[in-house]
Chain A
Amino acid sequence: MSRPERVYRVLLLAYPREFRRDYGPQMEQAFGDLYRQACERGRRRGIGLLWALTISDLARTAVEQRIMPCADHEEVAMYDRRLAVVGSLLLLALLYFVSASLLKYGLGIGILFDPLEVFLSASGRRVVFNLVSPFVFLGGLRLALALNTYAVARERKKRRKDAREYRQAQAEVVEHRGRRREHPVISDAVRVRVPRKLHLPSIVSRALYSLAGPTYIRRGASG
């Protein structure tokens, strides 16, 4: 194996483990073929172009492969996105009220507070900030947390289901020409990511993920 091929093998670590397991050897082989072809065509320019193509391709597709498992189920992704929008709006509203109050009464800056005068009279603002906002704050916070907890629970349930399907699919994998090959009928189940046990950091990261929302919704066969 030549040095560029070894470098490419290291670069493949950017892809998820499952993807590397299924396609890593083929990608290495394809890169090796491309490298030999580039050497034959014109040494420096050809190799430079090959590396440029490879790096840009790798940067784009590695990110894509890492995001894709999150958007494998379109309906879930769409639902989660709506959930994320509601959660984000709630948190933004809270953030606005808290920031406006702190800036106005703490630092005397009314950049966020003063625009409320257009909508609310002085007495109205008093009611909002003294009576309503604590309830909005606490209620919104609880609701946002509940939504996030719900999103995490859904994710957990989905992963359990995926794990079950994955184990079933693995049991049905057929041996073909001395290597493991996915049965075409069960390939849908096989491509899901192997679930990991939930732990606190991942719960927090998924809660944040539910706020940011899955933005990649698969539309047909993607490239």
Chain B
Amino acid sequence: MRGLREPRDLLPLTPAVLNILLAIADEERHGYAIMREVEERTGGKTRLGPGTLYGSIKRMLADGLIEESDERPDPALDDQRRRYYKITDFGRLVAGAEAKRLSALVETARARKLLPGRGRTLPEGV
């Protein structure tokens, strides 16, 4: 069933799922590291609770977006109970498709003057 799925079947992704995919796009991370990365990247605006994180991870594992990693970046410094997650090729495709979808929305917002043109910045407070 999963093998027959197209990336667009899973769109739109929830903010939590997209943030998790972005967090592990460049390197494998464990749950707490994913929470930290999301919080830091969004300047504290998005904070994933443990329930949201592991609920999303459960679904993402089932959908084949991520998988548990066999390798541990630094076993000596790490707690053995931690599980590391990495993005799958299918997960990359889905994240890319979602990014394209969002990009198209941003372009629409630009065309309708809801956002400034490329190279310009939003005024303070927006």
Contact = CB atoms under 8 A, between A and B. Distances in A.
Given A27-B54, A65-B55, A188-B62, A222 B14 contact: yes
A58 B54 contact: no
Contacts of A25: 81
A30 B35 contact: yes
Interface of B: 1-2, 9-17, 31-32, 35, 47, 49-65, 67-68, 70, 79-83, 94
A151 to B, nearest CB: 23
B15 to A, nearest CB: 7
A191 B58 contact: yes
A19 B83 CA distance: 15
Interface residues of A, number: 34
A58 B49 contact: yes
A221 B50 contact: no
A181 interface: yes
Contacts of A220: 9-13
Contact of B56 (A29, A31, A33, A223): A223
Interface string A141-157: 00000000000000000
B7 to A, nearest CB: 10
6 contacts: A23-B58, A29-B81, A182-B61, A184-B67, A221-B14, A221-B63
What 3 pairs across the A-B complex have the smallest Cβ distances?
Answer: A57-B49, A223-B16, A61-B51
B67 to A, nearest CB: 5
A187 B62 contact: yes
B54 A33 contact: no
